[in-house]
Chain A
Amino acid sequence: MLRFVARRLLMTAVVILGVTVLTFFLMHLAPGDPAEMVAIARYGAENLTREQIEVIRKVEGLDAPLHVQYAKWLYHVIRGDFGRSLSTGEPVLEEILLRFPATLKLAFAAMIVSLLIAIPVGVASAVKQYSLVDYLGMAGALIGVCVPHFWLGLLLILLFSVHLGLLPVCGYGGLRHLALPALTLGSATAAVTARLTRSSMLEALSQDYIITARAKGLPERVVVARHALRNAFIPVVTMIGLQFGHLLEGAVVVESIFAWPGVGKLLVDAIFDRDFALIQGCVILFALVFVAINLVVDILYVLLDPRIRYEGEARP
């Protein structure tokens, strides 16, 4: 297991390098002259002249061939210097670290909301297959998948903030501020997870070991919770892992509606401004998070199902 983890960590560097190469060159393929976009962000579109654009191109090194720009950037990153945002001039690392805790907080809260809804609904739907509970649960999941974030978010604000006056409309702060964005973001992922939990549970419940467990006279509660759910959880854990990554980067709409100061909006603004330094910084962060989550998911597999072993480990 340790060897596996060590190898995975080593792979991380390769993955991140690959991701940065891809994003760097793909961003340059996108239409729009980075020097001009930086000039607009820095000097405004109102007074822009060709001279200014050329000055920025030179000063920021945007006139060098792409591979040289990339190599230069990489050289600095290896030394721990992520550079400065092209549009604001602020250090990239500072800009990201300032917002990352907010994004992390929102993603965790959304994930908790998602699991609190999804697991009970998924399990209940499977156990009571084709009952009213099942139909209601799955209809709810279908709605959850279909409803766009911005619409659900605004509806929740209307209900809980404007009409009931229970929660603040938007802003960053404690649990009261977190509740609505977490519910908005968590509900869509809950829908997906609930459907997966249901189908996975159904498959598990039809296995021989469940029949054996029931034949042993174990109470249904124990059969479902300890035997079926545990085995049904493997694909669900994979999905949760992936979803957590998406929650981190995909929260842009929710961050915008609830004025939540996270990384999502920072990255989107950076893309619009063609702020390569900031884009690359965010990409490294997201790549790191994805790799870390995948690692955690792989480790969880072993804990959930002792039959799973990684290469090099002796089978019992």
Chain B
Amino acid sequence: MKKKPLTWLLACAMIVGLFAGCGKQTATQGGGSPNSAQVLTVAVASDVNTWDISQFPDGDARFVWAQIYETLVRLDEDLNLIPGLAESWEAQDNGRVWIFHLRRGVKFHDGTPFTAEAVKYSYSDRTYVVQAKTLQFESIEAIDDYTVKFTCKAPVPLPTYLTHVAWPIASPTSLDAQGNFVAPIGTGPFRLAGHAKDQEIVVERYEEYWGERPKLEKVIFKIIPDPSTQVLALTAGDVDMLIKTPEQEVRNLEKDPNIEVYRKLTTFTDFLHFNCKREPFSEVNLRRAVAYAIDTESIVKNVLDGIGVAASGRPYSPVMLYSAPDLPLYRPDLEKAKQLLAAAGYRDSDGDGVAEKDGKKLKIDLLVAPSWSARELKEAEAVQAQLARAGFAVEVKQLESAALTRLENEGNFDLILRTGFFVWGPYPHHVQLHHSKNYRSHYANPAYDRLVELGRSTNDEQEKTSTPKSSG
């Protein structure tokens, strides 16, 4: 499938659970806070929309969740699976049944012990992960207090999924006798100490934490929606740390002697999503022409100020375990792009710079809803200019996300520029976006579907490594 010629990765985001237990404080750090030894103030762009595992924590809420709640399985910095609340696990029945051996001596923030019952509650029917049908269980049994058996409806690499911070372990005491949600009660290194809506969230060190206790006594998450204000707050010393630094500000921040910028490549990938079900992109040569016409290196260098890595056709970030370093990448080649267009019957016969076929100009719409990051619009404009040189007349349409979703559902688009999407852990789940069963796919290829399904369900590392390569 040819849907990813354009991919950029950003280095400025931070990994979840950064300061859990390890005492490492900063992605970018200001020096001004008077009590920075014990209290860390972090700017986040959005408030926690929910504390209850029956809903989905979105945006920056997940960074806060990761301090309070923990998962059965964790990821290390290189995205390898490591023990979390489960010390070990094993698969049976080809990955349909999973047994998790739980860590002993762990207490929830209200003092109740962490046992198999809490795991059963955390994946019961009321929880988001089950409601959303992302994981489909036949049953979850507590074999004893510290052993849980998950029986899935189909083979699935369950430990990978259970690293997701939105699907953590919460105490059954989070609910009152009537079943109403009361408070977030997790096992994490910090517990909730205060939440002023749209203002700040305060978490304090949990003294009975099972792991290494954090050096910080308190972390204050200040909600500052505007990215420019976040940067100014860091510069003025009102906050100690930013989680997502706007690309255009990084260079300036690096010049400030009081601020340290830590860079790390993330799993996020910006990519173009083709509508393969209608002309012109139903034609593979047109998709290839786009891939050759776009110079991702130049976009990373000039538009993103050198932050990130040019994907050049890689479907996902090279930091992912299953990425293929030997994958042949696209090099910008305008002549080749024009040849491919010509092979598909598109030629600029009237000399206006726009190719045409049967008298019809090669006009395409590029949709973008820059809600996640302002960089998306700049990227879209760069793509527009680069495609113009090959003979495409691109109209960039900046839309509100609901309007974009409607056009996408209707199949009324040519190209969409989007970011991230279903990316966590070592396995590139976003390949599922292009599975023909996904209602937003607009692409149908039985061979691709088969590979995605195989990659999703197999527990054979050899197969897992080769599958995304073939599907990507």
- Interface contact B222-A171, CB-CB below 8 Å: yes
- Interface contact B402-A37, CB-CB below 8 Å: yes
- Interface contact B422-A47, CB-CB below 8 Å: yes
**Residue A61, interface by CB 8 Å:** no
Collect the chain A residues with CB atoms within 8 Å of residue B128's CB. Answer: 43
- Interface contact A46-B235, CB-CB below 8 Å: no
Which candidate, B10-18, B223-231, B310-318, B346-354, is the interface stretch facing chain A? B223-231
Distance (Å) between the CB of B270 and the closest chain A CB?
Answer: 15
Partner of B400, one of A157, A170, A259, A272: A272
**Residue A204, interface by CB 8 Å:** no
**Residue B166, interface by CB 8 Å:** yes
Q: A31-B403, A165-B236, A272-B401 are known contacts. Are A265 and B225 too (CB-CB below 8 A)?
A: yes
- Interface contact B132-A37, CB-CB below 8 Å: no
- Interface contact A259-B223, CB-CB below 8 Å: yes
Q: A161-B238, A168-B238, A274-B402 are known contacts. Are A45 and B225 too (CB-CB below 8 A)?
A: no
Other CB < 8 Å A-B pairs besides A87-B49, A169-B233, 18 of them?
Answer: A30-B403, A32-B406, A33-B402, A33-B409, A36-B405, A36-B409, A40-B405, A43-B55, A45-B421, A52-B131, A99-B198, A154-B229, A161-B232, A162-B232, A162-B235, A171-B238, A261-B196, A272-B401
Interface bin, chain B: 35 or more
Collect the chain A residues with CB atoms within 8 Å of residue B131's CB. Answer: 43, 52
Q: How far is the CA of A274 from the CA of B406 in the complex (A)?
A: 13
**Residue B197, interface by CB 8 Å:** yes
Residues of B189-205 whose CB lies within 8 A of A? 196-200
**Residue B254, interface by CB 8 Å:** no
**Residue B252, interface by CB 8 Å:** no
Q: A44-B58, A168-B238, A169-B236 are known contacts. Are A32 and B403 too (CB-CB below 8 A)?
A: yes
- Interface contact B50-A88, CB-CB below 8 Å: yes
- Interface contact A261-B198, CB-CB below 8 Å: yes
Partner of B224, one of A36, A99, A154, A259: A259
**Residue B439, interface by CB 8 Å:** yes
Distance (Å) between the CB of A276 and the closest chain B CB?
Answer: 13
Partner of B225, one of A37, A46, A169, A256: A256
Q: How far is the CA of A154 from the CA of B401 in the complex (A)?
A: 27
Q: How far is the CA of A202 from the CA of B58 in the complex (A)?
A: 56
Distance (Å) between the CB of A245 and the closest chain B CB?
Answer: 22
**Residue A50, interface by CB 8 Å:** yes
Collect the chain B residues with CB atoms within 8 Å of residue A50's CB. Answer: 439
Interface bin, chain A: 35 or more
Partner of B198, one of A31, A45, A265: A265
**Residue B56, interface by CB 8 Å:** yes
- Interface contact A169-B229, CB-CB below 8 Å: yes
Collect the chain B residues with CB atoms within 8 Å of residue A49's CB. Answer: 132-133, 439
Q: How far is the CA of A169 from the CA of B200 in the complex (A)?
A: 15
Q: How far is the CA of A165 from the CA of B371 in the complex (A)?
A: 32
A-B contact pairs, 23 of them (CB 8 A): A33-B406, A41-B58, A42-B55, A43-B55, A43-B128, A44-B58, A49-B132, A51-B133, A150-B228, A154-B229, A154-B232, A157-B236, A161-B232, A161-B236, A161-B238, A169-B233, A170-B224, A259-B224, A259-B226, A261-B197, A261-B199, A265-B198, A274-B402
Q: Which residue of B lies closest to A269 (CB)?
A: B46
Residues of B381-431 whose CB lies within 8 A of A? 400-403, 405-407, 409, 421-422, 429
Distance (Å) between the CB of B367 and the closest chain A CB?
Answer: 12
Residues of A88-103 whose CB lies within 8 A of B? 88-89, 98-99
- Interface contact A170-B233, CB-CB below 8 Å: yes
Which 10 pairs of residues, A with B, have the shortest CB-CB distance?
A32-B402, A261-B198, A169-B233, A31-B403, A44-B56, A46-B422, A31-B406, A259-B224, A47-B134, A162-B236
Partner of B405, one of A37, A46, A98: A37
Residues of A249-281 whose CB lies within 8 A of B? 256-259, 261, 265-266, 272, 274
Distance (Å) between the CB of B424 and the closest chain A CB?
Answer: 9
Distance (Å) between the CB of A157 and the closest chain B CB?
Answer: 5
Q: How far is the CA of A45 from the CA of B438 in the complex (A)?
A: 12
Collect the chain A residues with CB atoms within 8 Å of residue B225's CB. Answer: 256, 259, 265
Q: How far is the CA of A30 from the CA of B399 in the complex (A)?
A: 12
- Interface contact A43-B56, CB-CB below 8 Å: yes
Collect the chain A residues with CB atoms within 8 Å of residue B233's CB. Answer: 169-170
Q: How far is the CA of A252 from the CA of B228 in the complex (A)?
A: 16
**Residue A4, interface by CB 8 Å:** no
Q: How far is the CA of A272 from the CA of B399 in the complex (A)?
A: 11
Of listed A44, A45, A161, A170, residue having the most chain B CB within 10 A = A170
Collect the chain A residues with CB atoms within 8 Å of residue B439's CB. Answer: 49-50
Collect the chain A residues with CB atoms within 8 Å of residue B132's CB. Answer: 43, 47, 49, 52
Q: How far is the CA of A37 from the CA of B233 in the complex (A)?
A: 32
Q: Which residue of B lies closest to A44 (CB)?
A: B56
